[in-house]
Structure 1
Amino acid sequence: MSDLLLPLTRAVTYTRWVHLLVGAILPLACAMVYPGLVDPSPGDWVLIALLPIPLVLAAAAVPSVRRAEGLQARLMLFPGQHARVKGDGEPGVSAVPSASWADRAGTGVWLVLRLEMGMAVAVVTEQLMAVSLSLVGSAWGVGDLADPPVPVPSGSGAGWVCLLLLPVPVSVLLAVVVGAGALMARAARQLLGPTAGERLAELEERTERLLERNRIARELHDSLGHALTLAVVQAGAARAAADPRFTDQALEAIEETGRAALEDLERVLLVLRHGDHPAGARPTLGEADRLLESARSSGAQVQAELTGPLEHLPGPVSREAYRMLQEALTNVLRHAGPVRVAVRVAADDARLRLEVRNPLAEGAPAAGTGGGSGLRGIRERAALLGGAVRAGRDDGHWLLSVDLPLR
């Protein structure tokens, strides 16, 4: 019993009813011109239902009509914030203009269906409400309050009969409204649903959002991981040295590294807050000296060789190469400690090559061979740019080599 009454407690049942009645406005407006609404015959009703069809088919050829109908259907035919119960997911109705004649044809069928269904529901609503008002009038002994399509009991003793019959037209009307509303919701999914091209565009947009989320996660991992690694190394070295002067230098280096990490974090959060923020706000390979100096301040003996037009590299290549170098230096400090590091960055007209070489500490894991995501992130960045990464042992050293095309 509760399942039968549940639709009556849902606001969407009544918004669907309104949506159906709105569809009857056009044919009724046309009927006022011809053939008129004064005592229409059955033939007149057929004519009223057919006359507006050419008008709605012509309207369906306008691309923006599909968008307007989709927005109305989303708002009024499907559970949402206006419903008392949780909705059943996405309505599956498109809200974009028609892009093809197939879209226009679907919109035309939808408009005709909405027109005819609206007319039918409007007539049924009017007739059943007339019956209900007549039953109320007879029950109170004031005669018919409307012109019902069927005879209503009257006279002495008919009041109780009318009261008992009153729920019948109301129940029939609600059943018609619920059924017609559900039918229109299903038709909206079929006739106004997204096309194959729209589904593909939505899938591409979702993929872009996932890629952007992964990129931001990599940015945070590289920037904050680098800063925290340097801070840990500096703090450990200062405690082991027990030298006030060295401790002051370590604290200064930690302060500078932390400040740089905060700047990087602000850049990433700015992109996250404002999707249209230019990517150029991210650091590029032209700022590699900052990375090298921070590694040196942690005790690593960094020998760097930077050649080629690094300032004129394509933006995406320069930004991703900066993060790769940052992650490579972080891995060295994390896994090998403050050791001698050889960094070579060379660019020409066609390619950018980046190499980071460091000795392997006795018994220590090779940089990048742990269970973290550093080396995997470097490979992912290189793959997105069409490049290649080679990492492994090389004559007692750990060598990371990145090769990126510039075109």
Structure 2
Amino acid sequence: MVRLLRPLVRGRTYTRLLHLWVPVAALSVWWWVEPELPWVPLLVLVAVGLIPAVRVGEVMQARLLLTPDEAEPDFATLPAIAWRDRWRTVLWLEVRTLLGGVAAYLTVWLPIVAYTLAARTVGHETEDLPALSGQPQWFYGLLAPLPLLVLYAAVVGLGEVLTAAARRLLGPSAAERLTALEVRTEQLLERTRIARELHDSIGHALTVAVVQAGAARAANSPEFTDRALTAIEETGRAALEDLERVLGVLREAERPVSARPTLTDADRLLESARASGAKVDAEVTGPLESLPGPVSREGYRILQEALTNVLRHAGPVPALVRIGVADGALTLEVRNALPDAGAAPGRGSGLRGIRERAALLGGRARTGPDGAGDWQVRVELPLG
């Protein structure tokens, strides 16, 4: 019994009833003026429902009145662009109007029936329901609550039916769900890319700063300390620029991404590594300035992470960097001596990021000992 009466204390029962009444209240003016043409408003609703923005207004009403206690009801969030979605909006308007008409009729006449039954019990004459006129009947009093129970069931039932229809007709279509999923996937990929950017840039800057600071303390030379501080300052400034660019993108979703470093800026990385104590021998072949933007930018980050791994895990050891553009591909190779015969540099998110960057561009990456006592990072990226 408690479960059956629970809708009486729920606000959505009454907001749904209000939602049913709204179209009838608007159309009753026409029905009052032209009672002989009651079907004209239904034709007008067809034209109205084909307007794309109408669905947005209907969804807003459905959220507020049909599902007020749901945080994120499954309704469409965009205007109905496709014709299939427009016709779904038309069908929704027709269903809402017809159900509203039924609800309005029942909420007017069922209380009248209940009152008439109660009045006839005590012999009071009314002009409503002339079939009940005549001598008072005691059993009319037993029937009087029945119309109110029917009204209660009708209000709750029609509200549930209307809400189900709204979820079906105002919900996103399969194409819209796919579009939303693609947007969500792009957002996740963008967040992953930003995290990788921060890892590479800030990780490189901190590695250089730590190595330089340790080397300056060990050298105990004012001249070397000055060079170390200069390298830390330049690397830190570049990292701050990267951080500000990434944070700007996060703060303003529509803000265009500012220029990211490319392989034409590789000298900055090489000088930073050399200033940190690594003996870097670089060999560049091919026109780096002709590389496609995505390939050049990702190549820069791959080189940055490879050099960071050299400084972090091997220290100031000789390193060979080869950058070549030939045969429709970019080849990046960084080789360095391992710190001892059995050790291998770390295998954390840095190397995984290198492989992910290469895979996203249709390339491949190999990382690990090369069998000759060196650690090798070799990446091949197609230019197409």
- Kindly indicate whether the alpha-carbon contact (under 8 Å) linking 1:127 and 1:148 is maintained by their aligned counterparts in 2: no
- For the pair 1:308 / 2:286, whether they are aligned, the reply is yes
**Alpha-carbon contact 1:356-1:401 (below 8 Å) kept:** yes
Asked if the contact 2:7–2:13 (Cα under 8 Å) also holds between the matched residues in 1, the reply is yes
In the alignment, does 2:108 pair up with 1:126? yes
CA offset at residue 239 of structure 1?
Answer: 3.0
Say if 2:89 is the partner of 1:107: yes
SS at match of 1:91: coil
Structure-2 change in CA distance of 1:347 and 1:133 (3 Å): farther
The alignment covers a number of residue pairs equal to 375
Normalized against structure 2, the TM-score is what?
Answer: 0.84
Give the AA of the match of 1:365: A
Would you say the 8 A contact 1:93–1:189 is kept in 2? no
Give the aligned partner of residue 79 of structure 2: 96
Q: Distance in 2 between matches of 1:289 and 1:2?
A: 77
Paired amino acid for 1:374: G
Would the alpha carbon gap of residues 305 and 21 (structure 1) be closer, same or farther in structure 2, given more than 3 Å must change? same
Taking a change above 3 Å as real, the CA distance of residues 166 and 302 of structure 1, as seen in their structure-2 partners, is farther
Equivalent residues in 2 for 1:191-210, closer than 5 Å: 191-210=169-188
Match of 2:277 among 299, 307, 314: 299
Q: How does 1:5-404 map to 2 (within 5 A)?
A: 7-35=7-35, 48=38, 50-79=39-68, 83=69, 87=70, 89-93=72-76, 95-100=78-83, 102-127=84-109, 173=151, 175-348=153-326, 350-363=328-341, 365-367=343-345, 370-394=346-370, 395-404=372-381
CA deviations 1:184-222 (Å, max 9, x no partner) are 111111122222211111111111011011101101111
Question: Structure 1 residues 150 and 342 mapped into 2: Cα distance closer, same or farther (>3 Å)?
Answer: farther
Taking a change above 3 Å as real, the CA distance of residues 128 and 326 of structure 1, as seen in their structure-2 partners, is same
Paired residue secondary structure (1:226): helix
58-67 vs 339-348, greater mean Cα deviation: 58-67
Q: 1:128 Cα deviation (Å)?
A: 5.2
- On the 8 A contact 1:66/1:98 being kept in 2, the answer is no
Cα distance change, pair 147–222 in 1 and its aligned pair in 2 (3 A): farther
Deviation at 1:55, TM superposition (A): 2.6
Q: Is the contact made by 1:358 and 1:397 (CA closer than 8 Å) also made in structure 2?
A: yes
Q: Which moved more, 1:311-320 or 1:252-261?
A: 252-261
Deviates more, 1:287-296 or 1:1-10: 1-10
1:354 to partner: Cα distance: 1.1
Q: 1:404 to 1:7 in 2, by over 3 A?
A: same
Moved more, 105-114 or 1-10: 1-10
In structure 2, relative to structure 1, the CA distance for the partners of 1:53 and 1:339 (3 Å cut) is same
Kindly state the Cα deviation for residue 386 of structure 1 after the two structures are TM-superposed.
Answer: 1.1
Secondary structure of 2:316's aligned partner: coil
| Percent identical | 57
Whole-angstrom distance in 2 between the partners of 1:256 and 1:299:
15
- Are residue 405 (structure 1) and residue 382 (structure 2) matched? yes
Counterpart amino acid of 1:202? A
Cα distance in structure 1, aligned partners of 2:107 and 2:325: 78
How far apart, CA to CA, are the structure 1 residues paired with 2:218 and 2:63?
67
Letter in 2 for 1:252: T
8 Å CA contact 2:54–2:79 kept in 1: the answer is no
SS in 1 for 2:198: helix
- Residues in 2 aligned to 1:250 and 1:61: alpha-carbon distance in whole angstroms: 69
What is the alpha-carbon distance in structure 2 between the residues aligned to residue 245 and residue 147 of structure 1?
A: 111
- TM norm structure 1: 0.80
Q: Give the Cα separation in 2 of the matches to 1:256 and 1:267.
A: 17
Determine the C-alpha separation between the residues in 1 that align with 2:257 and 2:79.
29
CA-CA distance at 1:115 after TM superposition: 0.7
Contact 1:288-1:322 at 8 Å conserved across structures: yes
Pair 55,290 (structure 1): closer, same or farther in 2 beyond 3 Å: same
Secondary structure of the corresponding residue to residue 261 of structure 2: coil
Deviations 1:49-105 (A, max 9, x none): x453333234334444334333332333223xxx4xxx26432445431403x3344
Answer whether contact 1:356 1:399 (CA < 8 A) is retained.
yes
**SS of equivalent residue, structure 1 residue 23:** helix
* 2:13/2:155 contact within 8 Å kept: yes
